[in-house]
A and B are shown apart, each in its own frame.
Chain A
Amino acid sequence: MNVIYMLWLRQLKRYARSRARVVGSLGQPLLFLVALGFGFGPVFQRAGQGNYIQFLAPGVIAMTILFTAIFSGMELIWDRQFGFLKETLVAPVPRVTIMIGRTLGGATVAMVQGLVVAILCGVAGFRLAGASAIPAGILFMALIAVMFTALGTAVASVLEDFQGFQMVMNFLVMPIFFLSGALFPLAGLPPIMSAITRVDPLSYGVDGLRSALTGVSHFGVPTDLLVLAVLSIATLLVGSYLFSKIQL
């Protein structure tokens, strides 16, 4: 328990101390929110879909969590490079415990980042459906954060260095984001596109978060919750397994 807490705290301290990371990671969501939100807003409105900022904000929050969580998971590569990984791997602690500490720490960082972006969305004109939106929204944010931190750790466990990072971004993270319904409604898509969005785990995260915050849902909240919970546990298990296989 103490180990998990200390590893969690470590992740938070590292995050809080890296001002460049805090500020830098807000740039992209802000750009999406402003450029797409206000750029496509009029078209969206004319198509009879209502306020685009209102639709886009949960997607941008989910995107922030996705990116931060994957990065946090992949911090493992830094730890490998700067050597701290050895300190944890040679400690008399089961690897699963270390994996849980890391994942919770990374997920918390991603949630904090998501909350900051949520506030920025509010400044841009995003309005919550009601007070109950907050706990439900936080639950979905947490699920997205845990799932993708564990995924990042799993990927980082099999990568030796940052050479593969670009590939992970282009072939995993970007498709997960762009095909998730963060930017466009999932209803009325061509069948192939619709099928792809259904296998994208973030689709359920965005949909769950959107329904929590604005009350509009595509898959239905129970489906979202079930898929996210199952996938979070699955990525944690796979991540733990791959993490436990790391040899120095």
Chain B
Amino acid sequence: MIAAIIEACDLVKRFNGFAAVDHISFAVPEGVIFGFLGPNGAGKTTTIKMLTTLLTPTSGSVEIDGQNPATHAIAVRRKFGIVFQDPSLDQELTAAENMWLHAALYSVPKAAREERIERLLKVFELWDRRDSIVKHFSGGMRRRLEIARGLLHTPKILFLDEPTLGLDPQTRNQLWAQIKHLNETEHVTVFLTTHYMEEADSVAQQIAIIDHGRIVAEGTSQALKQQTGTDTLEQAFLKLTGTAIRDEQGGGVDQMRAMAAMWRSKGRS
């Protein structure tokens, strides 16, 4: 067994008494693509936030490459790259400027910056658009830029929170090919969440399914199908988590984002 690079032990996060994450434990071996699946509001993003130093657990422990994100935030942050569910690029800057800013934030050695930025932008097919302002990029280009940026400081782990949300099948396909390639060539551990079960099935070597803040099943895609007696991961997923629709409540930021989107579309049309 390869050593675990991410380890969560009896992890709990309560918001005003409500347990968003309720005593979960899991381990992700180094170099693996790990799929963390669950319906809306199951606790996926809350878990990712605790793994990536953005939230402090109510109880339980997390270790990222042997260090605790709650107490060694800065050291842990150097070890991972993250692509959030929502965009996190500076849209008023160019692709290259976003990369340079990231290089400074992660103190990537100055000598390596130019070469690495060029290589990553080429891998994600953005090199020709490096001097375009991100505002004018398509959704797929933005995602690719975010992933390229997340890899700039050569992290050991890459967190991808629904990286293919809202992308067309071509872009999704290409994105996963690039992520698989990175995992194979650079041995980056990938921790991903997605709602597309076929994608998880084809990409993730190990899967954990979370629901109502608890892990309900764990194993390879094959094992999960066997366990539930189903043919596809989607059926297995539905069998494990039920077919009821979950609603997530939007926070203030979500509402404002919706408003901004409305204004933007008005301005353009």
Contact = CB atoms under 8 A, between A and B. Distances in A.
Interface of A: 2-3, 5-7, 10, 13-14, 17-18, 79-94, 160-163, 247-248
Interface in B88-107: 88-93, 97, 100-102, 104-107
A86 B88 CA distance: 6
Given A83-B88, A87-B89, A162-B256, A6 B101 contact: yes
B256 A161 contact: yes
B52 A90 contact: yes
Nearest to A248: B54
B86 A83 contact: yes
B112 interface: no
A238 B260 CA distance: 30
Given A83-B86, A90-B52, 10 more contacts: A6-B100, A10-B97, A10-B101, A79-B90, A81-B257, A82-B87, A82-B260, A83-B87, A87-B102, A162-B256
A210 B21 CA distance: 58
A87 to B, nearest CB: 5
A31 to B, nearest CB: 26
A65 to B, nearest CB: 22
A85 B86 CA distance: 11
Please give me the 9 A-B residue pairs with the lowest Cβ-Cβ distance, nearest first: A91-B105, A92-B77, A83-B88, A6-B104, A160-B252, A161-B256, A86-B88, A87-B88, A83-B87
Contact of B91 (A3, A82, A89, A94): A82
B252 A84 contact: no
Contacts of A94: 74
14 contacts: A2-B107, A6-B105, A10-B97, A10-B101, A80-B253, A82-B87, A82-B260, A84-B90, A92-B105, A92-B106, A92-B107, A160-B253, A161-B255, A248-B49
A3 B174 CA distance: 33
Contacts, number: 90
Interface residues of B, number: 37
Contacts of A86: 54, 84, 86, 88
Given A13-B93, A92-B78, A247-B54, A87 B251 contact: no
Nearest to A13: B93
A87 B102 CA distance: 8
**Among B74, B88, B91, which residue has the most Cβ atoms of chain A within 10 A?**
B88
Contacts of B251: 160
B93 A10 contact: yes
B92 A13 contact: yes
A159 to B, nearest CB: 9
Contacts of B87: 82-83
B111 to A, nearest CB: 13
Contacts of B84: 83, 86
Given A13-B93, A18-B92, A88 B105 contact: yes
B123 interface: no
Interface string B232-260: 00000000000000000001110111001
A14 to B, nearest CB: 5
Nearest to B149: A87
Contact of A247 (B55, B90, B257): B55
A90 B253 contact: no
B61 interface: no
B53 interface: yes
Contacts of B9: none
Contacts of A87: 88-90, 102, 105, 149
A161 B257 CA distance: 10
B104 A2 contact: yes
B75 interface: yes
Contacts of B260: 81-82
A90 B78 contact: no
B82 interface: yes
B257 A91 contact: no
Given A10-B101, A160-B251, A162-B256, A92 B91 contact: no
A83 B260 CA distance: 13
Nearest to A88: B105
B89 A84 contact: yes
Nearest to B52: A90
A90 B252 contact: no
A90 B77 contact: yes
**Among A10, A14, A81, A83, which residue has the most Cβ atoms of chain B within 10 A?**
A83
A247 B15 CA distance: 13
A81 B106 CA distance: 23
Nearest to A162: B256
A7 to B, nearest CB: 8
